[in-house]
Structure 1
Amino acid sequence: MPKVSIILPTFNVEKYIKKALDSCINQSLKDIEIIVVDDLGSDNSIKIAKEEALKDKRIKIIHNEKNLGTFASRNIGVLNSNSPYIMFLDPDDTLALNACELALKEIKEANLLRFGFAKIDEMGGGIEENLPNYKDYEELKNKMMYYKGISWNVCFCLIQKDFYLKNLQKIDLFLKLTMAEDLLAFAFLINPSVKTANFIGYFYNTNENSIMKRKTKEQSQKNLQNCKKILTQIQNSNLDQFIIKYFSFHLEKEILKYFYNLNKISYLKYKFLKKKINLYMFYLKIKRKISKGFLCNL
Structure 2
Amino acid sequence: HARAEGVKVATSELIMFLDPDDELELNACEIAYNNFDNNCNVLRFKYSLIGFDDNFKLTHPKDYEDFKKRVKKLEYFDFLMWDMIIKKDLYLKCLEFVYKYNLTQVNIAEDIAFNFLIINFSNDYKQIDSKLYKYYQNTSSMTNQKSQDRYKIFIETKNKILDFFNNIYKQQPNITKKEIYYSFYFAICLSIIHDKKELNKNYNIGIKKIFNKFNLSIKKKKINLYKKIRRYMIMLL
- For 2:14 and 2:110, the matched residues in 1 are separated by 20
Which of residues 180, 184, 188 in structure 1 aligns to 2:109? Answer: 180
What is the rounded CA distance, in whole Å, between the counterparts of 1:225 and 1:214 in structure 2? 15
* Cα distance change, pair 141–134 in 1 and its aligned pair in 2 (3 A): same
Residue 151 (structure 1) shift: 4.4
The answer on 1:224 being equivalent to 2:155 is yes
Q: C-alpha separation between the residues in 2 aligned to 1:271 and 1:129?
A: 26
TM-superposed deviation, 1:280: 5.7
Residues in 1 aligned to 2:118 and 2:98: alpha-carbon distance in whole angstroms: 12
Match of 1:245 in 2: 182
Alignment of 1:201-212 (within 5 A): 201-212=132-143
Aligned partner of 1:259 among 196, 204, 208: 196
CA shift, 1:132, in A, is 5.0
Q: Aligned partners of 2:49, 2:155: CA distance in 1, in Å? A: 26
Greater alpha carbon shift after TM alignment, 141-150 vs 202-211: 141-150
| TM-aligned CA distance change 1:93 to 1:139, over 3 Å | same
Structure 1 alignment gaps of length 5 or more = 1-71, 288-298
Identity %: 27
Measure, in 1, the Cα distance between the counterparts of 2:41 and 2:87.
Answer: 5
Matched, 1:157 2:94: no
Aligned to 2:27: 98
Contact 2:152–2:199 (CA<8 Å) still a contact in 1?
yes
- Report the equivalent of 1:134: 62
2:226 pairs with 1:277:
yes
CA offset digits 1:176-219 (Å, max 9, x no partner): 33321111111100122311111101110011112222210100
2:5 to 49, 65, 76: 76
Alignment pair present for 1:145 and 2:72: yes
Q: Indicate how the Cα distance of structure 1 residues 200 and 151 shifts in structure 2: closer, same or farther if over 3 A, else same.
A: farther
Q: Which residue of 2 aligns with 1:116?
A: 46
Provide the alpha-carbon RMSD of the alignment.
2.8
Matched residues in 2 for 1:245 and 1:130: separation? 20
Offset, 1:275: 4.0
**Kindly tell me: are residues 279 and 119 of structure 1, through their superposed partners in 2, closer, same or farther at Cα, counting changes over 3 Å?**
farther
Residue in structure 1 matching 2:167, options 227, 233, 236: 236
Structure number with greater CO (CA < 8 Å, separation at least 6) is: 2
What per-residue deviation string (whole Å, max 9, x for no partner) do you get for residues 145-192 of structure 1? 112235420100000001111133122287133321111111100122
- Letter matched to residue 74 of structure 2: Y
Deviations along 1:250-276, one digit per CA (max 9) or x if unpaired, are: 111112223333449x94545532343
Corresponding residue for 1:215?
Answer: 146
Pairing of 1:15-30 with structure 2 (within 5 A) = none
2: distance between equivalents of 1:120 and 1:245?
32
User: Following the alignment from structure 1 to structure 2, what is the Cα–Cα distance between the partners of residues 80 and 132?
Assistant: 31
Give the number of equivalent residue pairs. 209
| Separation in 1, partners of 2:181, 2:77 | 15
Residues 49 and 136 of structure 2 are in contact (CA less than 8 Å); yes or no, is this contact kept in structure 1?
A: yes
Q: Give the aligned residue type for 2:221.
A: F
Q: Which structure's residues are more often strand, by fraction?
A: 1
- Give the Cα–Cα distance (whole angstroms) in 1 for the partners of residues 109 and 146 of structure 2: 16
Distance 1:90 1:108 in 2: 24
Change (3 A) 1:175 1:267: farther
Which piece of structure 1 moves more, 272-281 or 153-162?
Answer: 272-281
CA distance in 2, matches of 1:249, 1:277: 10
Structure 2 residue aligned with 1:22: none
